[in-house]
Structure 1
């Protein structure tokens, strides 16, 4: 698991992009990956713990895809 920062989040569509040193170019994320029941949105600049994969194809133009996202406490 790595620490990532939310670059952008599209509330209406339920997806966004996370950045971390291990996911250069961005990690595509969907609200269904957020490990908090009923939690559907993240805020730009928010820090999260991220599990990711490089699936071998681009997801909406991003080389990595989130497997799980856990919002960090501040």
Structure 2
């Protein structure tokens, strides 16, 4: 896992973009990948631990997709 920062998150749509040194251009994240009870949204600027899929995946223009997001603190 790497440390990432939430760039943006849409509560209505349940997805957002996370930035880390290993995912240039951003990583697509979905609420279903958040692995902490009670969390279904993330806040811009929030730090998370992130596991992602390698390039080749395309979602809304992003080459990386989160497969596991663990919020550090809300």
What TM-score does the superposition give when structure 2 sets the normalisation length? 0.93
1:15 is displaced (CA, Å) by 0.2
For the aligned residue pairs, the C-alpha RMSD in angstroms reads: 1.4
Mapped to 1, the partners of 2:73 and 2:62 lie a distance apart of 26
Mapped to 2, the partners of 1:47 and 1:26 lie a distance apart of 14
What are the residue-to-residue correspondences of 1:58-73 with 2, within 5 Å?
Answer: 58-73=58-73
The more displaced of 49-58 and 25-34 is 49-58
For residue 13 of structure 1, give the secondary structure of its aligned residue in structure 2. coil
Q: Given that residues 57 and 65 in structure 2 are in contact (C-alpha distance below 8 angstroms), is that contact kept between their aligned partners in structure 1?
A: no
What are the residue-to-residue correspondences of 1:1-74 with 2, within 5 Å?
Answer: 1-54=1-54, 56-73=56-73
Mapped to 1, the partners of 2:71 and 2:57 lie a distance apart of 26
Structure 1 residue runs without a partner (length 5+): none
Q: Once superposed, which parts of structure 1, at least 4 consecutive aligned residues long, lie more than 2 Å away?
A: none
1:55 is displaced (CA, Å) by 5.0
Structure 2 residue runs without a partner (length 5+): none
